[in-house]
Amino acid sequence: MKGKIRIWGRRSAFNAQKVLWMLDELGLEAEHIDVGGAAGGLRTAEFLAMNPNGTIPVLGDGRRVIWESHAILRYLAAEYGSGSLWPVSSAGRSEADRWMDWAQTGLQIAFMDLFWGFYRTPEADRDEALIERAVLSCDHYFSVLDQHLQTRDFLAGKAFTMGDIPAATALFRYFEMDIPRKPLPNVETWYARLQRRPAFRTHIMLPFDDLYGRLDF
């Protein structure tokens, strides 16, 4: 350990949840600093000196500061989870890596269009055509996951790795929202398997009704 671990970010923020979940999986003690959302604090000189984007999550490990959720996940997994969350072989790691990048550049974008367009937009202001497109886009990405999970317990194979975290962070909200979904038997089995992990239940399966109809952060 490089020193005290700190994590800046609100517990309801999708990108912060990924990191809070991983810290817990690794059994690392971390000080949580609640910034972002109603707590604010992202535009102070101190915060912008750590992350010029003024976004969460930010990780501190001793004097080291890291931002971008997936850079943080890779750092934590490599530093503290070699052989478990961080597959040691390059080939094994590429299996986990591809699903992290895929989630960030594909599934998460579709999911966020749906989450913001449907759940976070006040009902009177919703754009039904946008929501319909987002539902179809989510159907597509979740179907790709479903097909992949037909022959695997976790995204990179038999064991849980960092590769599961970004995509799985969407599961609770996706299945809780009152939206149309295609049948996803293998995704549901994976979801049930993840629910046996206390860290998943603690950090991902959190009520999110405080975000309903709310666009201000």
Ligand X SMILES: N[C@@H](CCC(=O)N[C@@H](CS)C(=O)NCC(=O)O)C(=O)O
Nearer to ligand X, 57 or 81 (CB): 57
The residue from 13, 85, 194, 204 that contacts ligand X (CB under 6 A) is 13
Q: Is 34 in the site for ligand X (CB under 6 A)?
A: no
Integer Cα distance of 90 and 96 in angstroms: 10
CA atoms within 13 A on the CB side of 65: 11
Residues pairing with 154 in the sheet? 157
| Cβ at position 37, least distance to ligand X in Å | 5
Nearest to ligand X of 19, 131 (CB atom): 19
Both structure tokens of 81 = 């989870």
**Which one, 35 or 131, has the nearer CB to ligand X?**
35
Q: How far is the CB of 178 from ligand X (least distance, A)?
A: 22
| Sites for ligand X among residues 53-92 (CB under 6 A) | 55-57, 68-69
Cis peptide before 52 (omega within 30 of 0): no
Please give the Cα distance from 32 to 7 (Å, whole number). 5
Distance CA 123, CA 66 (A): 37
- The nearest distance, CB 36 to ligand X, in angstroms, is 3
Q: Is 7 in the site for ligand X (CB under 6 A)?
A: no
Query: Please, which residues have CB within 8 angstroms of residue 123's CB and are 6 or more apart in sequence?
Result: 213
- Minimum CB distance to ligand X, residue 59 (Å): 10
Question: Does residue 26 belong to the site contacting ligand X (CB under 6 A)?
Answer: no
Please state the closest distance from residue 192 (CB atom) to ligand X, in A: 26
Give Cβ neighbours of residue 22 (< 8 Å, ≥ 6 apart). Answer: 73, 76, 77, 81, 85, 162, 165
Q: Which of 5, 22, 42, 107 touches ligand X by CB under 6 A? A: 42
Residues found near ligand X in the complex (CB under 6 A) = 10, 13-15, 36-37, 42, 55-57, 68-69, 217
